[in-house]
Amino acid sequence: MNFGRRFLAPMALIVAASLVTLGLGLIWLTRLQDGLEQEREVQLTASAVNDHVGRMRTFVREYSFWDEAVRRMALDLDTTWADDNVGIYAYNLNRFEYVLMVTPADEALYAVVDGKHAPIDPALALGGGYVSAARQLVRAEGTRAAGEIAGITLTGRGPAFFGIARIRPSSADVQLPGDLKRYLVVAKLIDPSVLANIRKTTLGTPIRLAAAGSPPGAGQLPLTDADGKPAGLLTWEPERPGSALRVRLLPLVALIAAAICALAAMVLSRARRAAGELSSSEANAMHLANHDSLTGLPNRRAFNDHLLQQSRSGEPYVIVYMDLDGFKDVNDAFGHATGDALLCRTAARLKALCPPGALLARLGGDEFAYVIEGVLGEAALDALARGIVEAVRDPHDLRTEPIVVGTSVGIAASDGTDFEDVVRRADIAMYTAKARGRDGWCLFDPSLDEGRIERMILECELRRAIDAGELSVVFQPIIRSRDETIASVEALARWDHPTRGAIAPDVFIPIAEESGLIIELGRYVLREACMAARDWPFAVAVNLSPAQFWDRTLVDGVLATLAECDFPPERLEFEITETYLLRRPEAAAEVIAQLRRHGIRMALDDFGTGYASIGYLQRFELDLVKLDRSFVERIAFDSDAADVALAIIALGSALHLPILAEGVESPEQATMLATAGCAYMQGWHYGRPMTAADIGSKHCGDGGPAQHRSIAA
Ligand code: C2E
Ligand code: CA
Ligand code: CA
C-alpha cells in the first residue's frame, strides 16, 4: 500500500486548500474593509467640499442681500466702504482671493484680487464654471430661482470655490431700479489651507490637489465645475484599516495555519499509525501462518510453497532434511523450556550454515530442512552435511552439564519429478542415515531399497511411538477344553499409528527385534500386562522374543517389574519360540530353569513350524506347548495336518505336557481338538484379543468364572 498516495497527497491538498481559503478570506475581508473606508473618506471629502461651497453661498448671499451694499456699491460705488466692508474685508477674513462686482455683461466695476485692487477680466480669470453660473443667474432674473449660485470653477490659478449673487436690497428702505444689475462675486482658490481644512473633516491623510484628468489614485475625489466639467482632482493616501488589520492578524493567521498543519500532521500520523498497524497486523498474520513461532523460521507450509514455486520455475534444487537425534531425551530429562532453547540454538546454528539464497525451514518437532537452489556436486553436499552434523553436535551449555544432540541428514536433488517425490527421497535418505547409526548423512541414491527404507522408517517411527505411548496391549482369552472356562489371557502388543493407522505386530515386532527396540517394547508389554491382570482371577501369558531371551538382565528385569506391579510370578507365563532353543540349547535351558525357579511358567509357542524335535521337548522344562495355528487351520480338511496335530497332542500327553491349540476359529475345530486331548484352546471361536477393560468387564465381572487360577494342570 502506498501510504503517500493514499493519504499524504489528499491531506496536503486539504491543508493547502484550507490555508489558501484562510489567506484569501483574510485578504478579501481586509480589502473590503479598505474599500469601505475609502468610500467613507470620499464621502467625507465630498461633504467637506460641499461645506465649502455652502459657505461661499452663505457669504455671497449675506453680502449681496444687504441694503448698504445696494446703496454703496450697486447704486453708487463707494470704494472705501466696499474695501472696508466687502472686498479687503473678505480677503482679510476669509482669504477670498477674488471679490468682484460685475455687470451682466461681465464687466468688473470693482475688483479686489488677493486683497488688492486690480483690473480683471472676470471670465478669463475665473473660468468656465463661473461664466456659466453668471449666465444662468442673469437668465433666471425675475424668477424665484434667482438667488445665489455657488460652486467650483477652474480659474487661471487652479480650481476655486466661488459664489455669485445679485446685489439687492434686504428691506424696503432702499429701492433698486430693475435694470440696474450688479453681481457680487467671491472666489476662494482651493489652496493648501483649504485642503488642510477639508482634511480636518475627513481626519485622513493630507489631501493634495491634482490636475483634472490625472491618473486615478487610491483616494480621490474629482471636482467638477458648475458647468459639469472637470475642474481638478483631490487625492490622498487612503487609510487602509483592513491592511493594518491584516498585518495585525498575521500572527494569529500564522497560528491558525500552524494549527491546521499540526492538526493535519496529527491526523496523518494517526492514519499512518493505523495504516501501519493494519498492514503490520496483516503482515503479522501472514508471518504467523508461514513461520514457526518458536524459532521464527519458515514453517512446513512456507517450505512447501517455496518448493512448489521452485519446481514451477524449472530450476534445479537440492533438499537437505535434518532430524535431530536424541532430542526427545533432552525434552524428557530437562523439560520443555530447555528443549525449546536447544531448538532455537540449533536453528541459529543451521541458519549460520545456510548457503546464500537457500531457505531454512522448521518442518515440525525436531525436523529442519534447507532448500538450496542450483546443482551441487557430491563433494559440496558432503561438506555441507558434515558441517551440519558437526555444528549440531557441538555441546550446548544450557545447563550445568553440557547437552549434546546429534542429527541425521538426508539429501536429495531435484530431477524433474514433482517436488513431493524429492521430499520423499530426502526423507528416505535421512532415515537411511539414521539407520546407519545416526549423527551422519546420506545422499539419496535410487539403489536405496524401498522395502528396507520402509523398515527403517518404521523403525524410527516405532522408536518414537514407544516414547509417545502409541503402543498398547490387548488380551486374548485362553480356554480350558474340559469346561470352557478361562485359564489365562495372552498379552499381545498393538500399535496404533497416528497417521498410518493400526500397524500389525507381524510388521513391527520383527522390526523391533532387528533394531533391539524389542527389549524396551517387551518391558513395556510385561508391565502393562501385569498391571492390567493384577486383579484378574487367571494367569497372563507374555511373548518373549529371542533378543529378550538372550538379554542377560532378563531375569532381574522381569523380577523387578513383577515386584513393581506386585504381581505373583506364579500367574505369569512366558511364550518362547523354538528357534531360541535350537540355537543355544544349554543356555536356553538355563534361562528357562531360572525363570521357572521363580515360579514363572514357560510355554513353547508356534510348535510344529520349526525343527524342534521331540527330544528337545523332553530336554527343556516346559509347562505348555502351543500347537501352531497352521495345523489347526488345516485340521478339518487336510488329513496329513490332522495326523500331525493328533500325533503332537498324543506326544504331549505322553510327556505330561499340556497342549494348547492356537487359532481355533470354528466349533468343528474345537470339537476335534478337544476329542484329541487338547487341554487348552485359543482362537476367535472363544474370543478375539480385547482391551484390558473388556476383559475386566466380560470375564471378571459379577458371576465371572473366578475359579480359574492357572493354565498349568
Ligand atoms: P502369536 O504369539 O502366535 O500370537 C497369536 C496370534 O494369533 C495373534 O496375532 C492373535 O491375534 C492371532 N490369533 C488368535 N486367535 C486367532 C484365530 O482364531 N485366527 C487367526 N487367524 N488368528 C488368531 P497378533 O496379535 O497379530 O500377533 C502376531 C504375533 O506377533 C504373535 O504371534 C507374536 O509372535 C507377536 N507378538 C505380538 N505381541 C507380542 C509381544 O508383546 N511381544 C512379542 N515378543 N511378540 C509379540
Ligand atoms: Ca504367543
Ligand atoms: Ca503362536
What are the tens digits of pLDDT across the range 387-408?
A: 999 999 999 988 888 888 999 9
Query: Which CATH number belongs to the domain containing residue 343 in this structure?
Result: 3.30.70.270
* Position 459 in a domain: no
| Residue-level pLDDT at 216 | 65
Q: 169 and 201: one domain? A: yes
Average pLDDT over residues 251-270: 88
Span 533-551, pLDDT tens digits = 999 999 999 999 988 887 8
Residue 490 CA to ligand 2 centre (angstroms): 7
Residue with cell 486683497: 115
> 247 and 329: one domain?
no
Average pLDDT over residues 55-73: 90
pLDDT of amino acid 711 = 35
pLDDT at 4: 63
Domain-terminating residue out of 257, 272, 290: 290
Distance CA 271, CA 164 (A): 81
Q: How confident is residue 611, by pLDDT bands cut at 50, 70 and 90?
A: low
Overall number of domains in the chain? 3
Contact 143, 166 (CB under 8 A): no
Index of the ligand 1 atom closest to the CA of residue 474: 25
Whether 371 and 424 share a structural domain: yes
Confidence of residue 441 (pLDDT cuts 50, 70, 90): very high
Q: Do 326 and 237 sit in the same domain of this protein?
A: no
Does residue 422 share a domain with residue 338? yes
Q: What is the pLDDT of residue 279?
A: 81
pLDDT score, position 146: 59
664 in a domain, yes or no? yes
pLDDT at residue 706 is higher than 60: no
What CATH number is attached to the domain comprising 141? 3.30.450.20
The CA distance from 557 to 598, in Å, is 13
pLDDT of residue 536: 95
- pLDDT band for 610, please (50, 70, 90 cuts): low
- Do 477 and 592 share a structural domain? yes
What's 652's domain CATH number? 3.20.20.450
Q: Percent of the chain beyond pLDDT 90?
A: 43
| Buried-state track 61-98, b at ≥16 Cβ within 10 A, e below 16 | bebbbbeebbbbbbbeeeeeebbebbbbbbbeeeebbb
**Looking at the structure, do residues 37 and 84 belong to the same domain, yes or no?**
yes
User: Residue 661 pLDDT > 60, yes or no?
Assistant: yes
Residues in contact with ligand 1 (CB, 6 Å cut-off): 476, 492-493, 504-506, 509, 522, 525, 543, 545, 575, 605-606, 629, 663-665, 682-684, 689
Would 12 be classed as within a structural domain?
Answer: yes
Among 462, 474, 489, 492, say which to mutate for ligand 1: greatest number of ligand atoms within 8 Å of CB. 492
Tell me which residue has its CA closest to atom 45 in ligand 1. 543
Q: How many CA atoms lie within 13 A of 335 on its CB side?
A: 4
Whose atoms come closest to the Cα of 626: which ligand?
3
Confidence category of residue 214, pLDDT binned at 50, 70, 90: low
Is residue 696 scored above 50 in pLDDT? Answer: yes
Give the three cell numbers for residue 252: 494569529
Domain that holds residue 381: 300-445
Q: Mean pLDDT, the chain, as a whole number?
A: 87
Q: Is the overall model pTM greater than 0.85, yes or no? A: no
Query: What band does 704 get if pLDDT is binned at 50, 70 and 90?
Result: very low
* 122 and 167 belong to one structural domain: yes
Residues 265, 169, single domain; the answer is yes
Report yes or no on 706 lying in a domain: no
Domain boundary at 261, 290, 319, which? 290
Best residue for ligand 1 mutational test, from 515, 543, 605, 627 (most atoms within 8 Å of Cβ): 543
Residues 268, 8 contacting (CB under 8 angstroms): yes
Rg (the chain; Cα; Å): 66
CA distance 90 to 92: 5
Question: Between these two residues, 188 and 172, which has the higher pLDDT value?
Answer: 188
Write down the H helix ranges in 65-145: 67-69, 79-85, 87-94, 122-139
617 vs 186, more confident = 186
Tens-place pLDDT, residues 183-209: 999 999 998 888 888 888 777 788 888
Kindly state whether residue 450 falls inside one of the protein's structural domains: no
Q: CA of 325: how far to CAs of 197, 329, 366, 404, 597, in Å?
A: 114, 9, 8, 9, 41
* Residue 542: per-residue pLDDT: 98
152 plus 206 within the same structural domain:
yes
Give the mean model confidence (pLDDT) for residues 707-711.
37
Q: Ligand 2: distance of its center to the CA of 453 in Å?
A: 28
Whole-number pLDDT of residue 705: 41
- Residue reference for cell 446685489: 167
**According to the 3-state scheme, what is the secondary structure of 176-210?**
CCCCCCCEEEEEEECCHHHHHHHHHHHCCCCEEEE
Residue 686 has pLDDT above 70, yes or no: yes
> Would you say residue 482 lies in a domain?
yes
Mean pLDDT computed over 62-75: 89
Spell out the residues 6+ positions from residue 487 whose beta carbon is closer than 8 angstroms to its own: 478, 479, 480, 538, 539, 680, 708, 710, 711
pLDDT at 143 over 70: no
Range among 242-251, 598-607, 694-703 rated most confident? 598-607
What pLDDT is stored for residue 5 in this prediction? 67
Look at 242 and 530; give whichever has higher pLDDT: 530
Q: Which of 390, 416, 445 is the last residue of a domain?
A: 445
DSSP string for residues in 661-675: E----SHHHHHHHHH
The answer to the question of residue 713 being in a domain is no
Are 234 and 109 in a shared domain?
yes
Determine, yes or no, domain membership for 167.
Answer: yes
Is residue 231 within a helix (H) or strand (E), and if so which, with residue range? strand 230-236
Residues 533 and 426 in one domain: no
Q: Pick the atom of ligand 1 nearest to 504's CA.
A: 26
Q: How many Å lie between the centroid of ligand 1 and the Cα of residue 492?
A: 6
Task: Report the pLDDT value the prediction gives residue 142, as an integer from 0 to 100.
Answer: 61
